[in-house]
Structure 1
Amino acid sequence: MSTILALAGSNSSKSINFKLVQHTAGLISEKEVQLLNMANFPFPLYSEDNEREMGFSNSLVELRNDIMKADGVIISVNEHNSNPSAYFKNVLDWLSRLERKFLEDTEVFLMSTSPGKRGGIGSLEIIEKLLPRFGATISTTFSLPSFYENFDSEKGITDSAFEEMHKKALAEFLSKV
């Protein structure tokens, strides 16, 4: 059975991107899904000094191992001022220092959401171009705009057009994993 790792690029305890990832993971029944809440992964700000003095934390090594064992990864990236959050960029910096091609031969379903009408598309586009440098294959993408108008914790995506686009993108990703 294929294994999928699902996470958001946010360390917020109230992350709407994590809610989207939870919803997406809950739709998958034919594969094993490991859901990670990145709010439980506090990493220090990357610097060569920190790497030299502290080395690589056990949680970073475990995260890298989980990513490399997975057949596919679902990531929903948050956005701060049209860019990926400093937290997610920091995670990528640490992972790439530990293992440059930590996403080698890995299919990625890349998503984003935000309270605004652009749905975090700025961050999604940046990460979509960045992840292949680490070996990822971006299978498909999905952006959910206006999260609070288009998502319900009980029902999931409430706008039928966005729900259909999400299901189609998920099906495309699953067909490649």
Structure 2
Amino acid sequence: MKVLAFAASSSKQSINKQLIQASSQYLTDAEVEIIDINDYEMPLFSVDREAELGQPEQAQAFFKKIGDADAVIIAFAEHNGSYTAAYKNLFDWTSRIDQKVFQNKPMVMLATSPGPGGAQNVLAAAANSAPYFAGDVKAHLSIPSFYDNCDPQTGAVTNPELLDQLKSALAQLK
């Protein structure tokens, strides 16, 4: 099984990137490709820019990455209760290629934050909207208080209960 994994954050110090990296070790029967959405940076989406630029190469490449995968894992960072601007822009451009951005792939959606909310707002929005974009969400999990429940150096979940939940969520991809 080929799994595409990424954090919906452009931050180089993203704790969601750390969570993705640490989570991938539990997919022992899979080939996991972790991508950085910074590699798909584009101008801010607008219909005017779309008319001028067409479908940028980066959006096409991102759509192809999803299409080539058997499953997708996303860890969402939360900015002001919603998606990061970097992820939303990438998603907006890609959805203009095909509204079925997730191409019926099984998905696990994760989120973490430094605080007790665990980025639950963005995670709920992502999980609830995914079916409209042909996402087959098998599981979603919020990891609250990252620095209390994870190793701040590696992103590994250290809270035994949350680790069991993470492993259970990832097992849903099989």
Per the alignment, residue 9 of structure 1 pairs with: 8
Instruction: Confirm or deny: 8 A CA contact 2:37 2:87 kept in the other structure.
Output: no
**Mind listing any 5+ residue stretches in structure 2 that lack a counterpart?**
none
Q: Secondary structure of the residue that 2:165 maps to in structure 1?
A: helix
Per the alignment, residue 166 of structure 1 pairs with: 166
Per the alignment, residue 22 of structure 2 pairs with: 23
Instruction: Confirm or deny: 8 A CA contact 1:13 1:39 kept in the other structure.
Output: no
> How far did residue 155 of structure 1 move?
7.1
Q: Secondary structure of the residue that 1:109 maps to in structure 2?
A: strand
Give the direction of change, closer, same or farther, for the CA distance of 1:155–1:141 in structure 2 (3 Å limit): closer
Instruction: Confirm or deny: 8 A CA contact 1:112 1:119 kept in the other structure.
Output: yes
User: CA offsets per residue over residues 65-91 of structure 1, 9 Å max, x none?
Assistant: 010121100001110121122222211
Q: Secondary structure of the residue that 1:29 maps to in structure 2?
A: coil
Per the alignment, residue 122 of structure 2 pairs with: 123
Looking at structure 2, the residues matched to 137 and 110 of structure 1 have their Cα atoms a distance apart, in angstroms, of 10
Looking at structure 1, the residues matched to 127 and 104 of structure 2 have their Cα atoms a distance apart, in angstroms, of 15
User: How many residues are matched?
Assistant: 173
Looking at structure 1, the residues matched to 96 and 155 of structure 2 have their Cα atoms a distance apart, in angstroms, of 40
- Normalising by structure 2, we get a TM-score of 0.94
Structure number with greater CO (CA < 8 Å, separation at least 6) is: 2
Looking at structure 1, the residues matched to 117 and 155 of structure 2 have their Cα atoms a distance apart, in angstroms, of 22
Q: Does 1:67 align with 2:46?
A: no
Looking at structure 2, the residues matched to 154 and 103 of structure 1 have their Cα atoms a distance apart, in angstroms, of 28
Give me the identity figure in percent: 32
Looking at structure 2, the residues matched to 12 and 94 of structure 1 have their Cα atoms a distance apart, in angstroms, of 20
Cα RMSD after superposing both structures:
1.3
Looking at structure 2, the residues matched to 41 and 63 of structure 1 have their Cα atoms a distance apart, in angstroms, of 7
- Normalising by structure 1, we get a TM-score of 0.92
Q: Counterparts of 1:5-154 in structure 2 under 5 Å?
A: 5-152=4-151, 153-154=153-154
Instruction: Confirm or deny: 8 A CA contact 2:81 2:121 kept in the other structure.
Output: yes
Instruction: Confirm or deny: 8 A CA contact 2:22 2:156 kept in the other structure.
Output: yes
